[in-house]
Amino acid sequence: MMKNERRSMNWPMVAGVAVAAAVVGFGTARLAGTGSSPAASQAAEVKKPEAAADKPAAPHEVKIPTEYLGAANIAVEPVTKGGVDTEILAPASVAAVPGSEAVIVSRAAGAVQRIQRRLGDTVKAGDVLAVVDSPDAAAMAADRRVAQAKADLARRTYEREEALFKQGVTPRQEMESSKAALEVAQAEAQRAATVAQAANLASNGRSVSVVSPIAGKVTAQAVTLGAYVAPQAELFRVAGSGAVQIEASVTAADTSRIVAGSDATIVLANGSPIPARVLAVTPTVSGSARAATVIVTPAQPTDKLIVGEGVQVRLHARASDATGMTVPEDAIQNFEGSDVVFLRTKDGFRAQSVLVGTRSGGSAQIISGVQPGDQVATRNAFLIKAEMNKAGGDD
């Protein structure tokens, strides 16, 4: 009885020892299976990120159709060589090239009898825009007829005297006198005809026509049917479809840094850039602002410029130290914690890290990361950044 009790009391102790031995054996087997110490295992875990870091990261690029650039108003411009101090941002206005705009006036005083063209109409050279009834027109018609009649009479007189001289009836002096009178009469007839022609005298001899000297569109109209107009009063303006020029105002100190033939950029009110070149720089300043005028012309013909429109011009001036590169400040974007520009690729844009120097006057200096002439997104470049963020980038 006592022996059996001792056996039952020792069984739990034996079971506990067996469980402890199993746990120790499992731990030993685990360490043996790995074949390394805990320190070695930790070293292996630290080594994995280092191996991943050695692998170069794929460049961030997004595909954007060309049609989207126009719809999103995204501009692409080349990286220019030079520092920020070589960029001059100047106010400017669009003006017509000499000869491409006409101010049309009345050549005689009178009442407007008929208006044949209105604001916005397309006209050809020689088209009649209005007709003015004028007493001056009647006087010009009368002068022309009188002068022509005198010239005809002088011609017949000369012909008769010449014939009589050849027959020996009249002396040479009479013939030469009649010839001089003919020349005077012809000169007077030519003068009267020129005056009538310059005034666009109508065939009825009572009115003058207001005629457009160039082809284009009527851009201004200051005439009312039946109204009295004075001589040389402006009635219409016609703008041709020819080229335009940009007139920018700069300080006198900047004129020495700008040369004809240098590059420029026209910036429209909506931010769209148009490549251009400097045509000329006035050597003097004028106006109350004491500003000089720089004439800029678009590099290619464009219909985006309207005469009288206000624009801005970025002038690429000379500098003693033209190191580095320059882009519009809008081109610099912060992407994944770095300053980048978006380089134009065949199918879209690629984020390129750059080192940015000075920022001033809407321009930023690029020290490294791109090359002069690289095409980068400028206006609305943040939209490309948003597309890249959608593709998996961080802001």
Q: Are both 172 and 283 inside the same structural domain? A: no
Q: Are both 344 and 302 inside the same structural domain? A: no
pLDDT confidence bin for 30, thresholds 50/70/90: very low
> Residue 333 has what pLDDT?
93
Residue 227, domain CATH: 2.40.50.100
List pLDDT tens digits, range 5-14. Answer: 444 444 344 3
- Lowest mean pLDDT across 34-48, 214-228, 367-381: 34-48
Q: Whole-model pTM?
A: 0.53
**How far, in Å, are 92, 94, 310, 311 from residue 240 at the CA level?**
21, 14, 19, 20
Dihedral sign of CA atoms 189, 191, 192, 198 in order: positive
List pLDDT tens digits, range 282-339. Answer: 888 876 778 889 999 998 888 888 888 899 998 877 655 556 788 888 899 998 888 9
CA dist., res. 125 & res. 198, Å (int): 15
Q: Are both 115 and 235 inside the same structural domain? A: yes
Is residue 153 in some structural domain?
yes
> Residue 156 has what pLDDT?
95
CA dist., res. 341 & res. 330, Å (int): 9
Is residue 175 in some structural domain?
yes
Which residues have a Cβ under 8 Å from the Cβ of 180 and sit 6 or more positions away? Answer: none
Residue 122 tokens, joined: 């397309």
Is the pLDDT score of 129 beyond 90? yes
Which residues have a Cβ under 8 Å from the Cβ of 351 and sit 6 or more positions away? Answer: 59, 60, 61, 335, 340, 341, 342, 343, 388, 393
List % helix, strand, coil for the chain (3-state, nearest 5).
Answer: 35, 35, 35
> Residue 203 has what pLDDT?
85
Q: Are both 151 and 273 inside the same structural domain? A: no
pLDDT confidence bin for 85, thresholds 50/70/90: low
Is the pLDDT score of 57 beyond 50? no
pLDDT confidence bin for 43, thresholds 50/70/90: very low
Is the pLDDT score of 25 beyond 50? no
Tally of domains within the chain: 4
Q: Tell me the average pLDDT across 36-42.
A: 43
Residue 286, domain CATH: 2.40.30.170
* Angle between helices 172-198 and 135-167 in degrees, nearest 10: 160
Domain boundary among the residues 295, 316, 337 is at: 316
**How far, in Å, are 28, 29, 354 from residue 35 at the CA level?**
11, 10, 48
List pLDDT tens digits, range 230-270. Answer: 988 899 999 887 678 999 998 888 888 888 888 888 988 88
Residue 169 tokens, joined: 């009836």
Average pLDDT of the residues of the chain: 80
List pLDDT tens digits, range 172-227. Answer: 999 999 999 999 999 999 999 999 998 889 888 889 999 999 998 898 999 899 99
Which residue type is seen at 312? Q
Residue 60 tokens, joined: 């961030």
Q: Quick check: helix, strand or coil at residue 281?
A: strand
Is the pLDDT score of 56 beyond 70? no
Q: Are both 267 and 284 inside the same structural domain? A: yes
> Residue 323 has what pLDDT?
61
Domain boundary among the residues 292, 316, 340 is at: 316
Q: Are both 342 and 283 inside the same structural domain? A: no
Q: Tell me the average pLDDT across 58-85.
A: 79
Domain boundary among the residues 264, 299, 316 is at: 316
Is residue 381 in some structural domain?
yes
Range of the domain at 227: 101-134+211-240
Q: Are both 169 and 295 inside the same structural domain? A: no
Q: Are both 301 and 333 inside the same structural domain? A: no
Which residue type is seen at 114? R
Q: Are both 235 and 283 inside the same structural domain? A: no
pLDDT confidence bin for 392, thresholds 50/70/90: low
Is residue 285 in some structural domain?
yes
**The 3-state secondary structure of 360-376, one letter per residue:** ECCEEEEEECCCCCCEE
Return the higher-pLDDT residue of 318 and 75.
75
> Residue 50 has what pLDDT?
44
> Residue 254 has what pLDDT?
82
Return the higher-pLDDT residue of 190 and 60.
190
Identify the bridge partners of residue 228 per DSSP, sorted by sequence position: 111
Is residue 246 in some structural domain?
yes
> Residue 391 has what pLDDT?
72
Is residue 22 in some structural domain?
no
- Which spans in 125-242 are helix H? 135-167, 172-198
**How far, in Å, are 82, 209, 238 from residue 113 at the CA level?**
62, 10, 21
Is residue 25 in some structural domain?
no
Is residue 128 in some structural domain?
yes
Q: How far apart are the first and last CA of the chain?
A: 83
CA dist., res. 74 & res. 42, Å (int): 51
- Lowest mean pLDDT across 122-131, 155-164, 196-205: 196-205
> Residue 60 has what pLDDT?
77
**How far, in Å, are 150, 208, 300 from residue 137 at the CA level?**
20, 6, 46
Q: Are both 118 and 230 inside the same structural domain? A: yes
**How far, in Å, are 48, 152, 177 from residue 149 at the CA level?**
113, 5, 19
Q: Are both 129 and 216 inside the same structural domain? A: yes
Q: Are both 270 and 140 inside the same structural domain? A: no
Is the pLDDT score of 151 beyond 90? yes
